[in-house]
Amino acid sequence: MSDSTQKHMGIFARYLTLWVFLSMVSGIVLGNIATSFVHTLAKFEVAHINLTVAILIWVMILPMLLKIDFSSLHKVWQHRNGIMVTVGINWLVKPFSMALLGWFFIYHVFSAYLNPMQWDAYYAGLVILAAAPCTAMVFVWSKLSDGDAQFTLSQVALNDIIMVVAFAPIVGLLLGIASIQIPWNTLLLSVLLYIVVPVMIAFFWRNHLLQTQSLESTLQRMDPYSMASLLLMIILLFGFQGKQILEQPLVILMLAIPITIQVYFTSSLAYLLNKRLGVAHCVAAPSALIGASNFFELAVATAIALFGFESGAALATVVGVLVEVPVMLSVVAIVNRSKAWYEQES
């Protein structure tokens, strides 16, 4: 990497919060002044997965996947404590803590300011969001926190397997619904787009780069594009909801509060449990991030299937999309800056 590129990447990292804020504002403005253009991009989707966003996520996650030594994946078992923490947070803590937060904020704290006819729908959307652990974006958060790439891949794959069995029963239990229709097309397409295909590309590309001794130089060249894709994705996500943000700012803010609290609570709990169990920081960081982020495509698709496109449930899951990136970036900053504290002997 050239000195000028390193300098630009240093400036980017130093002022990341500013770039993210400007991207959010730009997205809102774009969504309101270029409505037809944004709607066209928003309709470019399959099974509620926007293909433009998917392409940007590919650009973000491929550098991390290229770092994975696939011949050593069996060694992930040595990180079993981190796996145990992440699974426990995702499936035993996260949905139930969100149910408690949703009940507290929707039915009590903000009840006077929200439409009573939408209380149940808002609550349902929050629960659905929390019951769907993240897949693709976890690779981005892990990369930004210098997380162990092999652990991250293994944990994401394990979450997807558990999700097939546990997602519907947990949502049904917390919402009192006897039968939950899982949007299988969204779930399966997500696994294909965000795990199977990019992992296969990374596997063959990595072998080629190793043979030509150009792996490190390729990763360095990809870094600026990876970060630019993150900002462009933020612009698009906020652009897709630009009108909603300006039309219902207070509702969105009220729904964002329990989501934000839950992200900080679950990530902190996972981080502290990993420290208590003596887990290495390169595993604890992605473990905390996997435990806090959400699979928003599945959540949105489920909310729409159960309650309709214009429902409060759909809006609540969309707020999760808006909260996800800026809040998760702040969690990344916290785990990065606390590395020295984490690695101190207890």
User: pTM here?
Assistant: 0.88
**Domains of the chain (ranges, CATH numbers):** 3-342 (1.20.1530.20)
Contact 171, 132 (CB under 8 A): no
pLDDT the model gives residue 3: 47
Contact 118, 258 (CB under 8 A): no
Provide the token pair at 3.
């000195």
CA atoms lying within 13 Å on the CB side of residue 125: 31
User: What residues form DSSP beta bridges with 49?
Assistant: 46
Residue 49 sits at φ, ψ, to 5 deg, of -105, 115
Q: Are strands 45-46 and 49-50 parallel, antiparallel or unpaired?
A: antiparallel
CA dihedral 339, 331, 20, 241 (to 10 degrees): 160
CA atoms lying within 13 Å on the CB side of residue 225: 14
Contact 147, 72 (CB under 8 A): no
pLDDT the model gives residue 4: 45
pLDDT the model gives residue 12: 61
Residue whose pair of structure tokens reads 């970036």 in the numeric block: 329
Residue whose pair of structure tokens reads 């040595």 in the numeric block: 78
Task: For CA atoms 169, 172, 177, 181, give the dihedral sign.
Answer: negative
Average pLDDT, consecutive stretches of 10 residues, N- to C-terminus, the chain (346 residues): 47 73 94 92 88 91 88 82 94 95 96 94 95 86 91 89 90 82 84 89 94 92 86 91 91 96 96 96 94 87 86 92 90 94 82
